[in-house]
Amino acid sequence: MFENHLPTEELQALDAAHHMHPFTDGSALNKKGARVITAAKGVWLTDSDGNRILDAMAGLWCVNIGYGRPEMAEAAKRQIEQLSFYNTFFQTTHVPAVTLAAKLAQIAPGDLNHVHFANSGSEANDTNLRLVRHYWAAKGKPTKRIVIGRWNGYHGSTMGSGSLGGMKFMHAQGGMPIPDVAHIEQPDWWMQGGDSDPADFGLARAKQLEEKILELGQDNVAAFIAEPIQGSGGVIVPPATYWPEIQRICAHYDVLLIADEVITGFGRTGKWFGSQTLDLRPDIMTIAKGMSSGYAPIGASLLSDNVANTINDAGEFNHGYTYAAHPLSAALALENIRILEDEKIVDHVANVAAPYLREKWEGLIDHPLVGDASIVGLMGSIRMTPDKAARAKFKSDEGTAGYICRERCFANNLVMRHVGDRMVISPPLVITKAEIDQFIDRAVQSLDETHAKLKADGLM
């Protein structure tokens, strides 16, 4: 489809005239022209100029099984022919919705046995926000309304999910955060830990949750939401002391724990869910992205027996999306999970790809520009710095070095994303050792070129 596309310049001109891009300075992009991606297979993208680009971001942290799987095309065709749409309102259900809900209950940890479907991570987190308040009202504690998130956490882009997130540059536009949402600091030792020991810092950051609950009043706090490992915030891996203390605090103060596993779910960390890798026991889990490997939009809230039973026993929960559990999306999620299981892709991450990548990724610490190299499973980051020992920032604005590096990667046919001056990666889980070698070669070349440019520009 669309193989015989217009010349690149014409596509770029139409894009500039009519297409507004997410999280983009539109006027700057329109002058430059967007890169046009025309095809993809496995871990490789093709652009309209015929370049083959290694996608170390799996799209947007989502294409876990790799691009262009024919089984997925077959599953889509079968489902459209069988039942192209039906909703799950008004006491109806359909086969893909039931089958997928049961499958998710089977693979999810603990007693997360109940699924409330959405079409994206943002929508699922909006569901969570309303759901936890409704839960506490049903428990006879309607004052428990405040949800605590973290600065530099990311939970989506709608008013609700964007408020739960702690991206200050988002809050600066359009009236976020909404009321009854609070934030604590993130466990980013490299940026914020100063002279403290990482273990002490992790504990101190977790204790901020306790302090916030006491400040707001235990009777007013409904839930705490966090990503097991921050993704969009820069792949920040918390010190090992952090999560056990958070878990203790949530249990002690009767605060629901929402693990946002939109990135960390479906094998990304080397187990099915990040909660298993980090030993969390959430009451609610947000999933999306790797749930369908990006082949169709779908997300969900997985609820514990206690939470789901309480909601079910409280009458009607006045909430839902037309396309929740859309048959096509549900069928593709099911086929995606089948492929993950049958091809033992999570084992491939744990036993082959992640150990191999880890060694090479952590080896980047020897590069003159790299001050930190973190990785869990197949999500990782490197922090660029002009002075490793001092954990210093560049003279330029935060993000300038990162942007230069991202551009050098693109020029070298590699997709790595930058978050400030951190470079982040999340390749498809099916990446092979040979592809990891190619990836690292291109990453090192891009870092060398970035280093040279930063020196030439007097920025370090």
Q: Which residues bind ligand PMP (CB under 6 A)?
A: 120-122, 125, 154-156, 227, 231-232, 260, 262-263, 288, 299
Smallest distance from ligand PMP to CB 246, Å: 16
Smallest distance from ligand PMP to CB 209, Å: 18
- Alpha-carbon distance 16 to 232, whole Å? 26
Nearest to 420, CA basis, from 174, 121, 186, 197: 186
- Residue in the block written with tokens 């300038």: 400
Smallest distance from ligand PMP to CB 398, Å: 20
- Is the previous residue joined to 177 through a cis bond, with omega within 30 degrees of 0? yes
CB nearer ligand PMP, residue 127 or residue 450: 127
CB nearer ligand PMP, residue 286 or residue 396: 286
Smallest distance from ligand PMP to CB 17, Å: 25
3-state SS class at 254: coil
Q: Which residue is nearest to ligand PMP (CB)?
A: 121
Helix/strand/coil (H/E/C) assignment for every residue in 374-426:
EEECCEEEEEECCCCCCCCCCCCCCCHHHHHHHHHHHHCCEECEEECCEEEEC
CB nearer ligand PMP, residue 155 or residue 408: 155
Smallest distance from ligand PMP to CB 165, Å: 8
Helix 305-312 to helix 121-138 angle (10° resolution) is 70
Smallest distance from ligand PMP to CB 123, Å: 7
CB nearer ligand PMP, residue 264 or residue 396: 264
- The H-assigned helical ranges of 174-321 are 189-192, 198-216, 242-252, 274-277, 305-312
CA distances from 77 to 70, 72, 81, 328 (A): 11, 9, 6, 9
CB nearer ligand PMP, residue 63 or residue 203: 63
The token duo for 124 is 């699922």
Smallest distance from ligand PMP to CB 451, Å: 29
Q: Is the dihedral of CA 284, 128, 60, 367 positive or negative?
A: negative
CB nearer ligand PMP, residue 262 or residue 300: 262
Residues 6+ apart with CB under 8 A from 336: 64, 65, 72, 266, 290, 291, 292, 293, 295
CB nearer ligand PMP, residue 183 or residue 442: 183
CB nearer ligand PMP, residue 30 or residue 120: 120
Q: Tell me which H or E stretch contains 53.
A: strand 52-55
Burial class (CB in 10 A: 0-12, 13-18, 19+), 84: exposed
Smallest distance from ligand PMP to CB 447, Å: 25
Smallest distance from ligand PMP to CB 227, Å: 5
Smallest distance from ligand PMP to CB 161, Å: 6
CB nearer ligand PMP, residue 288 or residue 369: 288
Residues 6+ apart with CB under 8 A from 341: none
- Alpha-carbon distance 423 to 406, whole Å? 8
Long-range contacts of 6-11 (CB under 8 A, 24+ apart): 8/33, 8/36, 8/48, 8/49, 9/33, 11/36, 11/48
CB nearer ligand PMP, residue 263 or residue 384: 263
**55 phi and psi angles, rounded to 5 deg:** -95, 90
- Alpha-carbon Rg for the chain in angstroms: 22
- Alpha-carbon distance 170 to 176, whole Å? 8
3-state SS class at 157: coil
Contact indicator for 29, 21 with CB cutoff of 8 Å: yes
Smallest distance from ligand PMP to CB 399, Å: 18
CB nearer ligand PMP, residue 120 or residue 381: 120
Smallest distance from ligand PMP to CB 424, Å: 11
CB nearer ligand PMP, residue 231 or residue 428: 231
- Residue in the block written with tokens 């507004």: 20
